[in-house]
Structure 1
Amino acid sequence: MLKVPVNSPPSSPIEKESFSSDVEHVKGYRGIKAIGCTPADELIAKVGLHCFNSHKGTNLQFLTVTQLFLRTVSHVSYTMTLDAFDPANHSIHSIDTGVWDASHRNGENLRLITTYCIPTGSDESCPQWDPNGVDVLYTGLMPKWLDDDALTGSDKLHFYEVNDSDLQENAWLHLYAQVAAYSRWNVYMVDHLPLEIKKVVVQTKEDIESSLKLKSSNAIFYLSFKTRGGAEYRSIIRQTRDGRPQHMCLEVKNVEMDK
Structure 2
Amino acid sequence: MTEIAILLPSIGDEQPQRKRKLESSRSSGAAAAPIQSFPKVDYNPWDDEEDDPVIEKEYNRQFVESDGFDVDYFYLPYGGGLVPHIVEDKYDYPYDVGLFSRLGLHCYNLEKGTSLKLAAINKYNDKLRFTRCLCYYITLEAIDTSTNSLCNFQTCVFKDFLPEQASFLAQTEISRLKVPSGPRPPTYDGPERIWNDDAVDDSYKGKMPKWFTKDEMAAISTKGQFYELQESDLQGNEWLHMYAEFAFHYKWMAHESELRPFLPLEIKKVIIQTKEESQPCMKLKANNAIFYIIFKGNGDPSGAPVEYRAVVRKTMDGIPGHICLEVDCLAYKSS
Q: When the two structures are superposed, what TM-score results if normalisation uses the length of structure 1?
A: 0.81
What's the counterpart of residue 193 of structure 2?
A: 127
Larger Rg: 2
Which one of 221, 234, 237 corresponds to residue 309 of structure 2? 234
What's the counterpart of residue 290 of structure 2?
A: 220
What's the counterpart of residue 252 of structure 2?
A: 185
Task: Give 1:64 deviation, angstroms.
Answer: 1.2
Specify whether residues 204 and 155 from structure 1 end up closer, same or farther in structure 2 by C-alpha distance, changes over 3 A only. Answer: farther
What's the counterpart of residue 243 of structure 1?
A: 318
Task: Give 1:224 deviation, angstroms.
Answer: 0.6
Specify whether residues 258 and 156 from structure 1 end up closer, same or farther in structure 2 by C-alpha distance, changes over 3 A only. Answer: farther
Q: Secondary structure at the match of 1:152?
A: helix
Gaps spanning 5+ residues in structure 1: where? 6-30
Specify whether residues 169 and 72 from structure 1 end up closer, same or farther in structure 2 by C-alpha distance, changes over 3 A only. Answer: same
Deviates more, 1:72-81 or 1:147-156: 147-156
Specify whether residues 234 and 96 from structure 1 end up closer, same or farther in structure 2 by C-alpha distance, changes over 3 A only. Answer: same
Instruction: Tell whether 2:266 aligns with 1:196.
Output: yes
Q: Secondary structure at the match of 2:147?
A: coil
Specify whether residues 52 and 121 from structure 1 end up closer, same or farther in structure 2 by C-alpha distance, changes over 3 A only. Answer: same
Which one of 140, 145, 157 corresponds to residue 87 of structure 1? 145
Gaps spanning 5+ residues in structure 2: where? 1-82, 300-304
Deviates more, 1:243-252 or 1:128-137: 128-137
Contact 2:161 2:167 in 1 (8 A): no
Task: Give 1:150 deviation, angstroms.
Answer: 4.0
Q: Secondary structure at the match of 1:146?
A: coil
Superposition RMSD on alpha carbons, in Å? 2.5
Using the aligned pairs only, state the percent identity: 35
Deviations 1:147-173 (A, max 9, x none): 333463586111000111101111101
Q: Secondary structure at the match of 2:268?
A: strand
Task: Give 1:32 deviation, angstroms.
Answer: 5.3
Name the CA distance, whole Å, in 2 between partners of 1:150 and 1:128: 37
What's the counterpart of residue 26 of structure 1?
A: none
What's the counterpart of residue 147 of structure 1?
A: 213
One-letter amino acid of the counterpart of residue 306, structure 2 = A
Specify whether residues 42 and 109 from structure 1 end up closer, same or farther in structure 2 by C-alpha distance, changes over 3 A only. Answer: same
Q: Secondary structure at the match of 2:84?
A: coil
One-letter amino acid of the counterpart of residue 59, structure 1 = S
Name the CA distance, whole Å, in 1 between partners of 2:333 and 2:145: 42
Instruction: Tell whether 2:86 aligns with 1:4.
Output: yes
What's the counterpart of residue 154 of structure 2?
A: 96
Q: Secondary structure at the match of 2:175?
A: strand
Deviations 1:74-119 (A, max 9, x none): 2100000111111211110111100011243344221001111011
Specify whether residues 108 and 155 from structure 1 end up closer, same or farther in structure 2 by C-alpha distance, changes over 3 A only. Answer: farther
Which one of 198, 203, 206 corresponds to residue 137 of structure 1? 203
Name the CA distance, whole Å, in 1 between partners of 2:248 and 2:309: 10
Specify whether residues 106 and 159 from structure 1 end up closer, same or farther in structure 2 by C-alpha distance, changes over 3 A only. Answer: farther
Contact 1:240 1:248 in 2 (8 A): yes
Name the CA distance, whole Å, in 1 between partners of 2:296 and 2:111: 30
Task: Give 1:2 deviation, angstroms.
Answer: 2.6
Contact 1:150 1:156 in 2 (8 A): no
One-letter amino acid of the counterpart of residue 235, structure 1 = A
Contact 1:150 1:159 in 2 (8 A): no
Deviations 1:189-234 (A, max 9, x none): 3353221001000000246251210100000000010111242111
Q: Alignment length, in residue pairs? A: 233
Task: Give 1:61 deviation, angstroms.
Answer: 1.1
Q: When the two structures are superposed, what TM-score results if normalisation uses the length of structure 2?
A: 0.64
